[in-house]
Amino acid sequence: MKICMNETVTIKQLADRFQLSERLLKDSNPSLQNEQIPEGAIIEIPGWRGVNSSSSIGKFINIADIKKVEPITKPVIQPKRHYHFQSLVNDIGTLKAFYPFMKERIIGYSVLGNPLIELIIGCGPKKVHMNGSFHANEWITSAIMMKWLNDYLRKLVLNEYFSSKPVREFYENITLSYVPMVNPDGINLVLGSHETDVEIRKQAIQLNGGSTDFSNWKSNVRGVDLNNQYPAFWEIEKRRKPQKTPSPRDYPGDRPLSEPEAMAMAELAKRSLFDIILAFHTQGEEIYWGYLNYEPEVSELIVKDYERASGYKAVQTIDSHAGFRDWFIKEFRKPGFTVELGAGTNPLPLSQFDEIDRKANGIFWTTLFHFS
């Protein structure tokens, strides 16, 4: 919510009035340079809204009327739905309006020119990265991630605790990099969104054996499996995968990082020097944590915490190469995890959303706890 100041106050005074940290207030108002906020200034108050309106985006409330506003205690987005690219864009817009301390950055563009969006929460020295929907028919991972993100933002404003730590410590100590949808074109194809280019869609139908049922489609829109694109023994996958041409799944491409989505994620990882990455996939209720013994020792400790938090099963090695996580571990020797959310057959139905959330949200929180 925006308020118009009718008196001059300090940042600390204003933060105290709304029970916010000065950090959240400053990060929501990057133009605030001085400790004094002058009369007449328009200030964003994250996580608060006017009582009498369901949405107070853009609404101006005089600070003298402070009793007429309240902190938001419920989710502001409802991501439990078929989650295509536009759903993501809409929900990011809503979250940014209520929690303007969340930053958004475009790290690249998909084949069809959709922006690949990174959300950044917090300002700490530890760099934590999470991503979802490398695979098109695993789009439920994007929806789940957005649910967790909304929970995190809300708890930050409300100064809640996870285990023994105030959530605000996570914000101070961690920069969270969040890419909820690596493969927007593929998802739009699977969900039958009309944004897909007509010619490209025709070609995709051809690759799909003439079928318009894309529910088994994992690749990007031109038939390359984005999680088989990374230079970590890519040649092995190239040689042994039966798919020798673009396909709904498993085709590693003509060369590593041939696809803009895969390249954008590699560039992001190189630039950001993450301390840990998590890649959310479906399904199996398993967590892969090793890669050819390149992983650091701490990975095993972390995955034990994940097991305890979720009931999912830790698996050290699988016979697979060229994934984003494989490459990350090999390249940077830092902990990387693939979390296979849910159980059943892809695409998992929305009826699994609540159970996935209940079991696996502890993985999200444990990661922040561990690194703060």
Binding site for Zn ion (CB under 5 A): 135, 138, 281
Beta bridge partners of 37: 9
Is the link from the previous residue into 316 a cis peptide, with omega within 30 of 0?
no
Smallest distance, Zn ion to C-beta of residue 220, A: 13
For Zn ion, the closer of residues 1 and 191 by Cβ is 191
Sheet of 2-4: strand order equals 42-44, 2-4, 60-62
The C-alpha atoms of residue 297 and residue 290 are separated, in whole angstroms, by 10
Q: What's the rounded Cα separation, in Å, for the pair 123 and 191?
A: 35
Q: Which is nearer to Zn ion, 45 or 279 (CB)?
A: 279
Q: Which two tokens stand for residue 218?
A: 């994992």
Q: Active site residue: 44, 138, 285, 340, which one? A: 340
Backbone angles phi, psi at 218, to 5 degrees: -110, -25
- What are the backbone dihedrals phi and psi of residue 20, each rounded to the nearest 5 degrees, phi first? -105, 160
Please confirm, yes or no, whether 297 is among the known catalytic residues. Answer: no
Among positive and negative, which fits the CA dihedral 195, 196, 198, 202?
negative
Residue 95 or 329 having the CB closest to Zn ion: 329
In the complex with Zn ion, the residue whose CB is nearer, 152 or 234, is: 234
Q: Which helix (H) or strand (E) holds 225?
A: none
Distance CA(26)–CA(3), nearest Å, equals: 14
> Among residues 87 and 346, whose Cβ is nearest to Zn ion?
346
Cβ 159 vs Cβ 130: under 8 Å: no
Which residue number is nearest to Zn ion in terms of Cβ?
281
Residue 138 or 261 having the CB closest to Zn ion:
138
Minimal distance in Å, beta carbon 138 to Zn ion?
A: 5
Cα Rg of the chain (Å, integer) = 22
- Size (the chain), residues: 372
Pairing of strands 9-10, 2-4: unpaired
Q: How far is the CB of 218 from Zn ion (least distance, A)?
A: 6
Q: How far is the CB of 364 from Zn ion (least distance, A)?
A: 18
Task: Give the whole-angstrom CA distance, residue 79 versus residue 355.
Answer: 14
The first and second tokens of residue 221, run together, are 């829109």
Question: Could you identify the residue written with the tokens 């915490």?
Answer: 305
- 27 vs 138, beta carbon nearer Zn ion: 138
Beta carbons within 8 Å of 319's beta carbon, 6+ residues apart:
none
* Shortest separation between residue 28's beta carbon and Zn ion, angstroms: 35
CB of 281 to Zn ion, least distance (A): 3
Closest contact distance (angstroms) between CB of 207 and Zn ion is 18
Which residues are known catalytic residues? 340
